[in-house]
Amino acid sequence: MTYKSVDQLQKMLTKDVFHYAKDSKKAAGRALGTLIEIITFYLLKAWGYAPSVAIERGLAEYGNPKITHNVEYSLHPVIFSKRITLKGLKTPLSVAKLLKPLREELPFLKEYESRSQVLLSKDMVLRNSCVIAHNKNEIYTCLIHDIGKKSITIDIIGQYISPYAMFECKRVGVEEGTKKGPQTIEKAKQGAYVARSVSALQKIRTFTGELHAVIPKRDGSLYTKPYEQMIAEVIASSSPDLLRDFVLTVGVVSNHGNWFTSDNPNKELLVLAQSYDWLLFLTDKGLSEFINDVLVSPVKELQPARSAFLKSYKAHKKKNQFTKVQIHITADYALQAYFQKNITRIEQWFNIISPPQFDIRTLKSQVSQLVQKDWKRILGK
């Protein structure tokens, strides 16, 4: 069974999953938000960007580094990648336990500060994009490639702190009998502010309303062009002046009834559309298909994901094992396989609000171009 609207999906979760909660509708709304974040994360992984991804890392405002903003996902230049097989380790796999053999294999890691995190718990809950070491300019993360009976193969990834793209998810719910919740406007403003603050590319309008972009150069001059021309030039460029502090901003929103109607986009959506470089709308149909495949009529390969979700949201849960940060490793494997197998269909779950003349494949192409830049030269490292 599929559902025609997010409201129907929320009512289903309220009745069938969160009936025990004091505010079951609010609990179902939070779970929907998590599912949107999960979809976005595994879309990025299916596109091949997992080594670049950071989760909830604070991004500094351009020219004002004292203020940082945590975003769902940021993509960072990869400066180091090495696959290593370690033997004789048992769960839980803490960073402290991993660093002992890793520092023998990679002596330079001794110069970095470590993090007190657990890559894989005793209950096989995985920490995505687990940070193992860092300094003020670089961060090293650990990704699990394979787990054997007596060994584990991991990828050690070095990232520059400066990102080249960010993905932020926004969703709000409504109370029964109201047309939109008071959080809608505030969430739109918050998302818009972050999108317009973290990148060197700044948007301005002329007196006629035409949208232009300006990038401050290191020599103190300002480089300006019509916005669409500037984005195209930056993406195709190899110039440090244009790329050094540029961040491609991508918003992902959901819930037609709350953000807009097809005939009359409301103010909140218009604010977001002109603030992010890309604004993607996860359709009710897409979210419904995902929830149907995971929870309602689960396909066989997604049974581990369904199990992790239900264990995370039962009345007396011990630990959440179905979030973008922490997820049971069998659910992670299942979701990766599902997204790889169904990527063409999943890409169709998204409508492009802005820029309206492009599709999601263009976004993937732009991010791919940024991934392949010579960031060591661009950043002067």
Where exactly are the structural domains of the chain? 6-52+165-285+346-378, 78-160
**Averaged pLDDT for residues 179-191:** 69
Q: pLDDT tens for residues 145-181?
A: 999 888 999 999 999 999 999 999 987 545 444 555 5
> In the prediction, which pLDDT does 266 show?
72
Q: What does the DSSP assignment read for 290-312?
A: HHIIIIIS--GGGHHHHHHHHHH
**pLDDT, average across residues 264-279:** 83
- Cα–Cα distance, 114 to 134 (Å, whole number): 7
pLDDT at 109 over 90: yes
The type of residue at 221 is S
> Of all residues in the chain, what percent carry a pLDDT higher than 90?
68
Backbone angles phi, psi at 135, to 5 degrees: -135, -165
pTM: predicted TM-score of the whole model, two decimal places: 0.92
Surface-to-core class of residue 236, CB atoms within 10 Å of its CB (0-12 exposed, 13-18 middle, 19+ buried): exposed
Distance CA 225, CA 31 (A): 42
Q: How far apart are CA 78 and CA 86, in angstroms?
A: 22
Collapsed DSSP state (helix, strand, coil) of residue 89: coil
pLDDT band at 296 (very low <50, low <70, confident <90, very high): confident
User: Which residues lie closer than 8 Å to 213 by C-beta, 6 or more apart?
Assistant: 201, 202, 203, 204, 224, 225, 226, 227, 230, 231
Give the pLDDT score at 262: 44
Mean of the per-residue pLDDT values of the chain: 88
Q: Quick check: 189 pLDDT over 90?
A: no
Whole-angstrom distance, CA of residue 335 vs CA of residue 304: 9
124: left (phi over 0), alpha (psi -120 to 50) or beta: left
Q: Check pLDDT > 60 for residue 340.
A: yes
DSSP 219: T
Q: Is the pLDDT of residue 8 over 80?
A: no
Residues 215, 217, 221, 225: is their CA dihedral positive or negative? negative
Residue 267 has a pLDDT of: 74
DSSP designation for 323:
S
What's at 54, amino acid-wise? A
Residue 259's pLDDT is 52
> Residue with structure tokens 């699990």?
144
Residues with Cβ < 8 Å from 219, sequence gap 6 or more? Answer: none
